[in-house]
């Protein structure tokens, strides 16, 4: 038995509250294990037992997922007294072992009264991770305001470049997209099937992307006014569309009032501790902070890092979020560089914002495993980069369906069950190449979008991906939305196919749930076949046609005819 592959800790990664009555316990083993079970009971049951000993109940565990090198076993238990103590029993068909917290033991040495057992101390209602329920039904659309739409009748402004012109581009170029322009295009967004709008930063900044904020209390005049934002939110809400703003609290811009005061007064400034300054001689004309004179985002001196451990800094930033939610009725906040702000800050913010609007969505930008932020006290969700990488690997490389299944199972196994359906999923965004750039044709992009919209999570489409817009690097990944060409019908055929995929997700609740079952055919490794409840989905990423034997109705397809699924095609079956 490969005992070194067995792992469990009685921490939120492996034992967590699903609801106020249920604890989920998971065990990771090697692939040699054929059966796993749990022995559990209240930790104090020995005090009322007839012989004064602890006796546990035995129950088999469910094989929840197959990963690349492990099996994941799971069970849901409803402890009547809210407490749980337990150990595991496993077998590879030849040998039986008991897994305790201190070390494994052969089952021949086992009794219910030896070994250090695992313990889930108490099922507190406040520890239950409960993301806003509306997220399961939300399809997001990400917009960079400067590049989306300049409103009709906007005054000429010499600082704005001609819409869409990328000749002799400068990274400081602005095009004049604004909040009123976004409001004008809400019917387009709604028709696409979108019911969640994520705006990259809108506050005063000298850059076009606004991720170096100079004034968190003033909407950038290039984008409009506070009244324009309120009108956008109100109009969007009347159409059933949620609004999420970008909170850049890891760092500020150089024009931020606190940083300006520090530049002027140095250590005498009351805002000195709002930043991480390590050198008395920190004021230098150098674009990088690799000398560590002060900490900044990614060594860029123009983005000094905010000290969110500092109470006054936290007071200020939390006050901003409460204002957005209370006075503007914002539905969600994305936290830029969300893994570098202080946990203490996030816990305070979570409590104070949720006290105003309990179903506010708090989402952290984190590119790696983020389970320690998903604890019911910090973020409701995080950016699911692992899913993005997995979709890219399957569609753009020779990845096979078994490898894809392993990695999707890892995505699902990484977080609490109630969090997975609300993870922020995407295939491209403002920090990455446009999805079409890595596809050999538009049909492959449709396959990616189908995967995005049929996997557990709250999917987000980057503006223009529905056309599709091209771009490998900035500024092309952040180009202006080509409204003249859209209105002339240039992209209608493809965008209508995207709309149909989004509509399918809205129509079929199975596509918004947690369960994903892969059917692996090693003889056709580039055929991806999976089930979402009663819905059955096939994608052909190979070069040759594949015969599909399905006894259900075709709900949606691309390159599928008379039972043959051609290269780069897909077919979705169900009982409609």
Q: What are the residue numbers of the active site?
A: 336, 365
Q: How many helices (H) and strands (E) does the chain have?
A: 12, 26
Cα–Cα distance, 295 to 288 (Å, whole number): 10
Tokens of 493: 């055929």
DSSP string of 445-466, one letter each residue: HHHHHHHHHHSSSEEEEETTTT
Instruction: Output the six-digit token pair for 254.
Output: 């150089």
**What is the Cα–Cα distance from 380 to 308, expressed in whole angstroms?**
19
| Closest to 27 in 3D by CA, of 91, 106, 110, 109 | 91
Q: Which helix (H) or strand (E) segment is 320 a member of?
A: helix 311-328
Rounded Cα distance between 473 and 450, Å, is 24
Strand pairing report for 35-41 and 96-99: unpaired
> Structure tokens of 47?
């005090």
CB within 8 A of 259, min separation 6: which ones?
A: 252, 253, 271, 275, 304
Rounded CA separation 67/188 (Å): 41
| CA atoms 158, 159, 165, 167: torsion sign | positive
Q: CA of 67: how far to CAs of 2, 64, 384, in Å?
A: 16, 10, 18
DSSP classification of residue 302 = T
DSSP for 490-534 reads TTHHHHHHHHHHHHHHHH-GGGGSS--EE---TTSTTEEEEEETT
- Measure CA of the first residue to CA of the last residue in the chain; give whole Å: 47
Paired tokens of 460: 């987000």
CB atoms within 10 A of CB 547: 9
Q: Helix/strand/coil (H, E, C) string of 145-167?
A: HHHHCCCCCCCCCCCECCCCCCC
């Amino acid at each position: 038995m490969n005992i070194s592959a067995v792992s469990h800790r009685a921490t939120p990664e492996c034992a967590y509250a699903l609801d106020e009555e249920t604890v989920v316990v998971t065990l990771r083993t090697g692939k040699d294990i054929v059966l796993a079970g749990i022995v559990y009971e209240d930790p104090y049951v020995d005090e009322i037992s007839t012989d004064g000993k602890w006796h546990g109940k035995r129950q088999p565990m469910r094989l929840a997922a197959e990963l690349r090198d492990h099996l994941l076993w799971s069970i849901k238990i409803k402890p009547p007294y809210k407490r749980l103590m337990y150990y595991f029993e496993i077998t590879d068909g030849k040998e039986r072992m008991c897994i305790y917290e201190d070390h494994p033991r052969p089952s021949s040495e086992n009794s219910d009264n030896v070994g250090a057992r695992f313990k889930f101390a108490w099922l507190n209602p406040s520890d239950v991770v409960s993301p806003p329920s509306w997220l399961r039904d939300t399809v997001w659309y990400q917009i960079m305001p400067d590049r989306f739409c300049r409103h009709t009748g906007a005054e000429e402004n010499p600082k704005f470049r001609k819409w869409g012109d990328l000749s002799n581009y400068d990274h400081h170029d602005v095009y004049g997209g604004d909040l009123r322009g976004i409001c004008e295009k809400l019917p387009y967004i709604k028709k696409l099937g979108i019911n969640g709008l994520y705006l990259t930063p809108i506050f005063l900044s000298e850059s076009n992307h606004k991720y170096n904020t100079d004034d968190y209390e003033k909407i950038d005049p290039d984008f409009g006014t506070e009244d324009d934002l309120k009108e956008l939110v109100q109009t969007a809400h009347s159409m059933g569309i949620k609004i999420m703003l970008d909170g850049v609290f890891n760092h500020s811009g150089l024009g931020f009032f606190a940083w300006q005061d520090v530049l002027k007064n140095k250590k005498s400034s009351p805002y000195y501790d709002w930043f991480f300054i390590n050198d008395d001689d920190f004021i230098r004309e150098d674009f990088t902070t690799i000398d560590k004179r002060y900490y900044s985002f990614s060594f860029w001196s123009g983005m000094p890092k905010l000290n969110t451990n500092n109470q006054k800094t936290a007071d200020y930033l939390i006050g901003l979020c409460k204002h957005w939610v209370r006075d503007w009725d914002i539905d969600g906040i994305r936290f830029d560089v969300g893994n570098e702000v202080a946990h203490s800050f996030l816990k305070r913010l979570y409590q104070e914002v949720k006290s105003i609007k309990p179903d506010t969505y708090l989402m952290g930008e984190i590119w790696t495993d983020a389970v320690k932020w998903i604890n019911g006290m910090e973020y409701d969700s995080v950016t699911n980069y692992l899913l993005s990488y997995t979709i890219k690997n399957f569609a753009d490389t020779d990845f096979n369906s078994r490898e894809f299944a392993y990695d999707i199972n890892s995505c699902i196994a990484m977080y609490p069950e109630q969090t997975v359906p609300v993870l922020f999923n995407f295939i491209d965004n403002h920090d990455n190449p446009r999805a079409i750039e890595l596809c050999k044709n538009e049909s492959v992009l449709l396959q990616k979008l189908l995967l995005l919209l049929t996997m557990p999570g709250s999917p987000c489409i980057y503006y223009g991906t529905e056309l599709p817009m091209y771009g490998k690097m900035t500024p092309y990944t952040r180009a202006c939305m080509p409204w003249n060409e859209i209105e002339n019908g240039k992209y209608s055929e493809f965008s209508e196919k995207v709309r149909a995929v989004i509509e399918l997700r809205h129509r079929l609740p199975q596509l918004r749930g947690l369960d994903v079952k892969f059917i692996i055919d090693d003889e056709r490794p580039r055929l991806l076949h999976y089930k979402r409840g009663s819905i059955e989905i096939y994608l052909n990423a190979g070069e040759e046609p594949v015969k599909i034997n399905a006894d259900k109705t075709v709900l949606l397809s691309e390159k599928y005819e008379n039972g043959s699924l051609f290269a780069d095609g897909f077919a979705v079956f169900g009982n409609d």
